[in-house]
Amino acid sequence: MLDLRFVRENPEAVRENIRRKFQDNKLPLVDEVIALDAERRKLTTEADTLRANRNKLSKQIGMLMGKGQREEAEDVKAQVAAQAARLAELEAMEPELEEKIKKIMMTIPNIIDPSVPIGKDDSENVEIEKFGEPVIPDFEIPYHTDIMERFDGIDLDAARRVAGNGFYYLMGDIARLHSAVISYARDFMIERGFTYCIPPFMIRSDVVTGVMSFAEMEAMMYKIEGEDLFLIGTSEHSMIGKFIDQILPEDKLPYTLTSYSPCFRKEKGAHGIEERGVYRIHQFEKQEMIVVCRPEESPKWYDKLWQNTVDLFRSLDVPVRTLECCSGDLADLKVKSCDVEAWSPRQKKYFEVGSCSNLGDAQARRLRIRVNGKDGKYLAHTLNNTVVAPPRMLIAFLENNLQADGSVKIPLALRPYMGGMTVMMPKK
């Protein structure tokens, strides 16, 4: 969310940013919120004047009564009563205006970084760099659920009977591999200096609206009926929410946290054949990383975060690339974002396995996360990135480590988490 003063003083810059994000339908919001802000400030000035005048008149009443000038005192009381009615009217209008302004300000997109490529949607995202050599083996790579079934490692039919589409049972070596990847990712991030955390898996509505846009909220979040609670779509939500309404000591920054959680998502819409199986689902587990830092340090941390994910995937023999998200593909709160994509030898293309984002001070402004600096208080910057998110990560792992005989090799880094196993042998 932008600073209202910035919008008031730089309306054309805000409009141009909206155009660069191809959200022209939001252009009228700039003039609308500026007009509402002017009305609110005028109202506040009038209310403050009335309050000051009330105090002044109240003193006059006391003085007049003390002098025995009752008639004059009654006249002043009548003035106070008349002004009190107007003040009550203004005080009733103030929260209504505040709510209208807040709703619009939470809809106007954040100012994107100048380095962000301009494009309408994800088809115009720009490849940055490849890591590792993509390999196409000389044998056929089955669909990921077919690989898992050879290990008796997945049961989608039972999951549909129990919960419907978009859920799964993982079993045996595949379930063990899933847990091993999560545990390895946890230790990988701890070794890089991040503090491990297991957060709440439900959050209140004020945290939801603090960490994401209304559009994201509608498309993703499950609401708990009858309670002010939502199931998290990613642990970033509750991890950033941890700092709501906090004034952080500057000398404690940066906060670097890595968190485990299950994630729950509506995943609205149709997704196509390549999103069968366990690619896009309603429930999954994830290791996440978040940073809360000084504004001037956020670009440095942005580069560190995506590099962590690249390094983890390369340690598991999975080729990856980074893809810069264009302006039209950025969520409204994001200043800059890139996807980490893993190589799929079956599809002969890359697919998304993680997303790294710098949100500037947008989340901090919404959640009132401030830093107590030597020159006064200021808003922190927040960033987040996926460490690893099985079972999507399992797709990349299985395809890239599958052998011609149907076995799956276990990279050296993962073997301690698989009981020393060097290769997984299929059951059928």
Q: What are phi and psi of 42, to 5 degrees?
A: -65, -45
pLDDT-derived band at 338, boundaries 50, 70, 90: very high
76-85, 131-140, 329-338: least confident range: 76-85
- Return the pLDDT at 199: 97
What integer is the mean pLDDT of 82-92? 81
Q: Is residue 237 within 8 Å of residue 203, measured between CB atoms? A: yes
Q: Distances in Å between the alpha carbon of 355 and those of 121, 187, 255, 383?
A: 16, 20, 19, 11
The residue type found at 371 is V
- Return the pLDDT at 52: 76
Distance in angstroms (rounded) separating the CA atoms of residues 59 and 54: 9
Distance in angstroms (rounded) separating the CA atoms of residues 409 and 398: 9
Q: Is residue 144 within 8 Å of residue 399, measured between CB atoms? A: yes
pLDDT-derived band at 270, boundaries 50, 70, 90: very low
Model confidence at 382: pLDDT above 80: yes
Q: Note the CATH number of domain 4-105.
A: 1.10.287.40
Helix (H, G, I), strand (E, B) or coil at 115: coil
Record the tokens describing residue 33, joined without a space: 């919120």
Record the tokens describing residue 312, joined without a space: 């983890």
**pLDDT tens digits, 26-48:** 999 999 999 999 999 999 898 88
The neighbouring-strand residues paired with 371 are: 248, 378
What does the DSSP assignment read for 124-157?
Answer: G-EEEEEES-----SS----HHHHHHHTT-EEHH
Instruction: Look up the pTM and report it.
Output: 0.89
Which runs of E-coded beta strand occur in 220-273?
A: 222-223, 230-231, 247-249, 255-264
H/E element, 29: helix 27-66
- Return the pLDDT at 288: 98
Distance in angstroms (rounded) separating the CA atoms of residues 6 and 27: 16
The residue type found at 199 is P
Helices 172-191, 392-401: axis angle to 10 degrees equals 100
- Return the pLDDT at 6: 97
**Three-class DSSP labels, 344-360:** ECCCCEEEEEEEEEECC
Model confidence at 58: pLDDT above 90: no
- Return the pLDDT at 269: 54
Domain assignments of the chain as residue spans, ordered by start: 4-105, 122-424
**pLDDT tens digits, 188-229:** 999 999 999 999 999 999 999 999 987 788 888 999 999 999
Q: Is residue 21 within 8 Å of residue 37, measured between CB atoms? A: no
- Return the pLDDT at 277: 85
The CA dihedral of 255, 261, 265, 270, to the nearest 10 degrees, is 100
- Return the pLDDT at 422: 98
What integer is the mean pLDDT of 154-159? 94
Model confidence at 274: pLDDT above 80: no
- Return the pLDDT at 87: 82
**Three-class DSSP labels, 157-196:** HHHHHHCCCCCCEECHHHHHHHHHHHHHHHHHHHHCCCEE
Distance in angstroms (rounded) separating the CA atoms of residues 320 and 341: 5
Model confidence at 303: pLDDT above 90: yes
Q: Is residue 259 within 8 Å of residue 407, measured between CB atoms? A: no
Question: Mean pLDDT in the chain?
Answer: 92
CATH pick for 122-424 out of 3.40.640.10, 3.40.190.10, 3.40.50.300, 3.30.930.10: 3.30.930.10
Model confidence at 295: pLDDT above 80: yes
14-23, 80-89, 192-201: least confident range: 80-89
Record the tokens describing residue 115, joined without a space: 């380095």
